[in-house]
A and B are shown apart, each in its own frame.
Chain A
Amino acid sequence: MSFEPKILGFLCNWCSYAGADLAGVSRIQYPTNMRVIRVMCSGRVDPKFIFHALELGIDGVFVMGCHPGDCHYLEGNYEAITKFDMTQQFLKFINFDKRVRLDWVSASEGTRFGEVVTEFINHIKELGPSPISGGNPDEDILDKLKAIKMAAGSNRMRALVGREKTLLGSENVYGEQIIEQRFNILIDKAIKDEFERHRVLLALEKDSNSVKDLAVELNIDPSIVLEHVLTLKTRGQVDFQKIKGNTPIFMRL
């Protein structure tokens, strides 16, 4: 039997959901794989919803909103973009970035709705089943996805992404470009740091461990692991447990 992916769609009420209804009224035919969750605006889609769906083994997640400039709440879809970009950036670590998509469909684009949904379903079919779906999920990827979910939900990441639009919007065109570049570098670094940090945290949650062994387990440079352990210690999330032989062992708090 051919692979029939499970796909979740988040549709904003005013444009894409209306476009989906119009596809119905016009009897546009498209494959059945997507299940829709209606939200009022694409800006409501918290990245954690997407991570949660992927963690359950759902093969693809499609977020749809109004075309830029057409959001019923003016700017909700711009907020959706910043959050989605971060989500996708995180998902690159596990090669899941192509399993999520953000696109725009207006209330009058019934035909287009059918087209983009069909295209996404075919695209996910080509990618194949999610490696964490089914009875035998890839534990390594699943662990990493858990770390991603926690990292993206951290206060630091949410604050950074939440500020992105205001920060970038407050500059003139010339300044904006420089700021945007700098901002992207900052975000990229934060994404990498928080991802690794939360992997360390999750590993320690399973078992207390030394920096050296953690480094081997997670395949991260020991000096970087040490840095993360120290940051996590200042955040009050891990602490020194005991000395084993000559090596300090850390534990999750």
Chain B
Amino acid sequence: MSEEEKKDIEDEVRVGVFVCHCGSNIGGLIDCKTLAEEAKSLPNVAYAEDNLYTCSENGLASIKAAIEEYNLNRVVVASCTPRTHEPLFRDCVSEAGLNKYLFNFVNIRDQCTWVHQKQPEEAYKKAQDLIRMGTAKAVKLEALDIIMVNVNPSALIIGGGVAGMSAALNLSRQGFQTYLIEKEDKLGGRLNSLHKLFPHQLDASDFLDKIKNNVQNAQNLQILTSSIVKNIDGFVGNFEVEVEQNGKNIELSVGAIIVAVGSSLFAPTDLYGYDGKKRITQFELEHKFINNDVKANNYVMIQCVGSRIEDRPYCSSVCCMTALKNAFVIKEKNPGANITILFRDLYTPGTDYEKYYRDAREQGVLFIKYGLDKLPTVEEDHIKVFNEYMGEELILPYDLLVLATPLVANNDNKELAQMLKVPLEANKFFLEAHVKLRPNDFATDGIYIGGSAKWPVDITEAITQGYAAAARASRVLSHDSLEVEGATSSLPEYNKSLCTGCEICIKVCPFNAIIKNEEDEIEIIEALCKGCGVCGATCTNQAIVIKHFTDDQIFSEIEAFGGH
């Protein structure tokens, strides 16, 4: 081949299309082989094949080999979803020497075969269209610069409960300057007001003292109590945080942030005659234990009070174990006490916890299952409950009624979420990037989540998650510099003459990434730009180009779909 021929091939757009069967997830419904075969006749497609699992080692090797053999300079994979697998395939093409932005994803599993299981023919047509559209976009893809930013090797942890303290200990011990912010005047969170801890009946205050002691003596760790976060700016590796402590402002610069703000207690007003005296919550019962203020003989506990219902559909995960724990505490002091636990389902997963439940039965704690359709009714000194197993109504006298109420999201989560630019889920807990693949990350780089801020968890889990979040953060902090999103907005040289300087783009950018520089020209600060594309859709003279989602690329997708 002459140099010129080689050059021609380089200039020519040559797309490779890889259609994945995903075992039978895709291939079980539609014919991937024919899809790949047909893709060969699309414009600029130089090669196409189908793979049993494109993301397997074989599949990836096959992509790399085809890039080499067929001089491919664009790659399309039609398979699952970019939200989970794009990084893998991007790495794959860049290992084969292609810029990673020359890869395009087509979703024919999550948004096609899985949702059209009874319409194989239509699903096939849809996959055809999607591959045509994705390939049309791929043809227009451009290589983008890889943008690097420096990393400040320090971390901020918001919330000083067990999760936050565990994260702080871990990071500071790795040598990163760490700041632990707690809004109350002392560390410890919920643990401060608990009595014993399941499943080993540890003394909560002993346990807390130990951790606090470690935290207080740690190096590189600055604790800021009575402090709240007022403002957060910046991006991964370079956050600027404004903290207010007792009315005075402190500025912190950190490279990563961990959210460990925990959760709040649900108040059962209007439920089961709750009055905070004779009818109390498990939390209040522990308070009474601490003050040695429990004298009753007949105890009834009701589980799932305000949880697993339409308004609050989740399981609070700690209440079953808490009820058992407090039953043991009562039995230890007063072996003759009668304890009846009214439950809907009992959740005691794992070996230790299940044993805990069996031990409680052995000690004579009574368990009665009730249903949502026939809730127990509470009178002044007895409770009526319909026993689902026996099919009859029981009358239970009580001196103390204890309600197991769920952990709920903090009221101010929304505010913090907005400052951090991270999402909340339906119950207003913080929402991680992916429940299985990235359980302690947020989608936003450099921000992590751990403990009951995400979901009700027990202490073991809160600690595990605190460590996990710290480990994730240290992945960022241990680098001097990092790659950030390269698909940013830009005002290319060839479009500069279109810009009239109206400054509307500056106003719509949510991240203040656009400025007018000293030469009075519009400038986009790439490290701040997150590539949302709003400025591009807004620019009054259509001068701004959104890389990787250019007008041209989107139009080509629309046209590839086409009309009737």
Contact = CB atoms under 8 A, between A and B. Distances in A.
Nearest to B564: A133
A138 B561 CA distance: 21
B533 A29 contact: no
Interface stretch (B208-216, B252-260, B420-428, B458-466): B420-428
Interface in B394-451: 414, 418, 421, 423-426, 431, 443-444
A134 B562 CA distance: 11
B558 A49 contact: yes
A132 B530 CA distance: 38
A39 B549 contact: yes
Contact of B110 (A21, A47, A69, A79): A21
Contacts of B423: 14-15, 66, 70, 72, 106-107
Nearest to A13: B83
A228 to B, nearest CB: 21
Given A39-B549, A43-B533, A153-B542, A52 B83 contact: no
Given A21-B110, A23-B115, A35 B133 contact: yes
A35 B126 contact: yes
A159 to B, nearest CB: 4
A141 interface: no
Interface in B513-564: 530-534, 536-542, 546, 549, 551, 554-555, 557-559, 561-564
B142 interface: no
Interface string A29-51: 11010011111110111111100
A24 B114 contact: yes
Contacts of B421: 72-74
B505 to A, nearest CB: 8
A46 B536 contact: yes
A158 B542 CA distance: 9
A252 interface: no
B488 to A, nearest CB: 11
A234 interface: no
B563 A58 contact: yes
A160 to B, nearest CB: 9
B30 to A, nearest CB: 11
A45 B500 CA distance: 22
A41 B534 CA distance: 8
Interface of B: 81-83, 107, 109-112, 114-119, 122-123, 125-126, 129-130, 133, 414, 418, 421, 423-426, 431, 443-444, 487, 500, 502, 504, 507-508, 510-511, 530-534, 536-542, 546, 549, 551, 554-555, 557-559, 561-564
19 contacts: A13-B82, A13-B83, A17-B83, A23-B111, A24-B111, A27-B115, A32-B112, A32-B123, A41-B534, A43-B532, A56-B561, A58-B562, A73-B511, A73-B532, A75-B510, A114-B115, A133-B564, A159-B540, A165-B507
Interface of A: 6, 8, 13-15, 17-18, 20-21, 23-25, 27-30, 32, 35-41, 43-49, 52-53, 56-59, 66, 69-70, 72-76, 79, 83, 106-108, 114, 129-130, 132-134, 153, 155, 158-159, 161-163, 165-166
